[in-house]
Amino acid sequence: MALQIPRIHFYEIDDQTWFPSFLREKVQACLTLCWIKCFPPFQSSSPAALIVETLQSLLGPSIKDYVFIDYCSGAGGPTAEFEREINKALELESIQKYHERNKDPTSLTRRRDATTENNSNGILTSSTSEDPSVDFILTDIHPHIPSWRLACSSSPHLHYVPAPIDASASPPDLLSKIHSSTPLPHRKPFRLFSLAFHHFDDPLARAVLKDTLLTSSGFAIFELQSRNLGSLFTVLLLGPLLWGVSWYYFWGDWVHLFWSYVFPVAPSVVVLDGLVSCLRTRTRGEIIRLMDEVEGVPGDWRVGWRFESGRRRHTWPFGEATWFVGIKDG
């Protein structure tokens, strides 16, 4: 049941300048774990996999027309998982089309076996001349370069911008600033805000939306929570979940384990900030209203844009992801 209260922009510990950066990294590592891992029987797939399905459904074949720029990436979040799953699907689709054109029904299986065996990342490659893959770019006003460098080493289609990037004033030459050995193909910019947009207060959110409407061809706001009692209950369960699994997923990172078990700062901040995140999360109507209040966008900003929103359960019984997606025509 939805809480009958207005959105409340309480403070989150992880946002504060006084919060030590090394502890912030541990908190963000916990959040990344919650994004990309599946915990049966309460989850049938990871939240990141649900978001990938949502993007694929909304964008369809046009997904190949975009370069995806993740703002407020933190330590990397789910972006590497988005890139991996979307490009695996695109590669498979490309291979299927290639063999359909060559009318060889048995060659697809042989090709998949060979490419999977020869590619340690599990990403299929095709003998077609056109690379169907799309690129993803990590950015943040406080770049996490060591974490990003490690993530990007696993794929030629995952990149990062080493300079600070303000989501409310993104540089027009951003794509020229990426750390990449090869230039990116010219594609339309699509902004991603993964568990990030609720961090902006209303003035900053309006500035981010203005910059987005003026300089991008699409954007998506993804949250792992809603402003309701079910989400608050789900967040409370993150404490015992992280207590139970951190030793396994972070074994060898003794600093992380110290701040998870001896002094459980990391899981405590995840829970406390998660509760505040629920109260900060905006509805579709509130995002639309912020765009109505944006000044300096020529003409009617609604013209040429279509907006979709929805929610999907990621954790039984009450955990749900919410999304708001804007797509510009042409």
Secondary structure percentages of the chain, helix, strand, coil, to 5 = 50, 15, 40
Q: Kindly write down the DSSP assignment for every residue of 146-164, as one continuous string.
A: HHHHHHHTT-TTEEE--S-
Q: How far apart are CA 315 and CA 181, in angstroms?
A: 39
Percentage, residues of the chain above pLDDT 90: 74
- What's the residue count for the chain? 330
Residue 266 has pLDDT above 90, yes or no: yes
> Which residue from 35, 23, 55 is spatially nearest to 256, judged by alpha carbons?
23
User: Looking at residue 3, what is its pLDDT?
Assistant: 52
Cis peptide, bond prior to residue 143, ω within 30 of zero = no
Residue 108 has pLDDT above 70, yes or no: no
Q: How far apart are CA 283 and CA 291, in angstroms?
A: 13
Q: How far apart are CA 110 and CA 119, in angstroms?
A: 14
* Overall average pLDDT of the 73-81 stretch: 92
Q: What's the angle, vertex CA 286, arms to CA 284 and CA 288, rounded to 5?
A: 70
pTM: predicted TM-score of the whole model, two decimal places: 0.88
User: Looking at residue 109, what is its pLDDT?
Assistant: 54
Tokens linked to 186: 């010219």
Burial 27-64 (b: 16+ CB within 10 A, else e): bbbbbbbbbbeeeeeebeebbbbbbbebbeebbeeebb
> Which residue from 62, 48, 54, 56 is spatially nearest to 217, judged by alpha carbons?
62
Query: What DSSP element (H or E) covers 47?
Result: helix 47-59
CB 179 within 8 A of CB 161: yes
Residue 27 has pLDDT above 70, yes or no: yes
User: Looking at residue 110, what is its pLDDT?
Assistant: 53
| Chain-centre distance for alpha carbon 171 | 21
DSSP state of 119: -
**CA 224 vs CA 134, 227, 311: distances in Å:** 24, 11, 9
Least trusted range by pLDDT, from 12-26, 45-59, 241-255, 285-299? 285-299
Q: Across the chain, which distance is largest between two alpha carbons, in Å?
A: 63
Q: Which parts of the chain are beta strand (E)?
A: 66-70, 136-138, 158-160, 188-194, 218-223, 305-315, 319-328
Q: How far apart are CA 282 and CA 4, in angstroms?
A: 13
Least trusted range by pLDDT, from 106-115, 119-128, 251-260, 311-320? 119-128
Give tens-digit pLDDT for 206-229: 999 999 999 999 999 999 999 999
